[in-house]
Amino acid sequence: MGITWRLTALSIFFCALAMPTPQHGSQSHLGDRLAIDPNWSELVLSMEKMHRAMASVEASSDSDVDFVRLMLPHHQAAIDMAKTQLLYGQDPQMRRLAQEIITDQQSEIALMQRWLEQRAALAANPGHASDTR
């Protein structure tokens, strides 16, 4: 199994773990919750967007590149979810954590994008650039 599918499977697994399970006798369904809870709706939409973006990544023959290409939408989803927390969350500690997530993930996205650009430049001009590893 390729790295892309393993990471996608892990992502789906962790998302499934994070989803609350209805209690016995509960009448709540995901669709009902999406309709009445904008916080939940925005969190779910962030996850769905991430899954679509990750699923669209085509495997290369380079595990480093595949890792970075899959991590980019993963990090963006973390940013989107943290922004939702800042909109709806009340707990000061969770709001502080959300802000830290935004700052850290934005920095890591920039680093990964630069790395991909350097990698592409190296591939285009193998004799003119130093190895990025």
The model carries a pTM of 0.69
Q: Is residue 79 part of a domain?
A: no
Q: Is residue 78 part of a domain?
A: no
Give residue for tokens 């769905």.
48
N-term to C-term CA, the chain: 25
Q: How many domains does the chain have?
A: 1
Q: Is residue 94 part of a domain?
A: yes
pLDDT of residue 27: 44
Residues 6+ apart with CB under 8 A from 61: none
| Whole-angstrom distance, CA of residue 15 vs CA of residue 29 | 17
Environment class of 22 (CB within 10 Å of its CB; exposed 0-12, middle 13-18, buried 19+) = exposed
Per-residue model confidence as pLDDT tens digits over 44-91: 999 999 999 999 999 999 999 999 999 999 999 999 999 999 999 999
Q: Is residue 100 part of a domain?
A: yes
User: What is the span of the domain harbouring residue 110?
Assistant: 90-123
Half-sphere exposure of 79 (CA within 13 A, CB side): 15
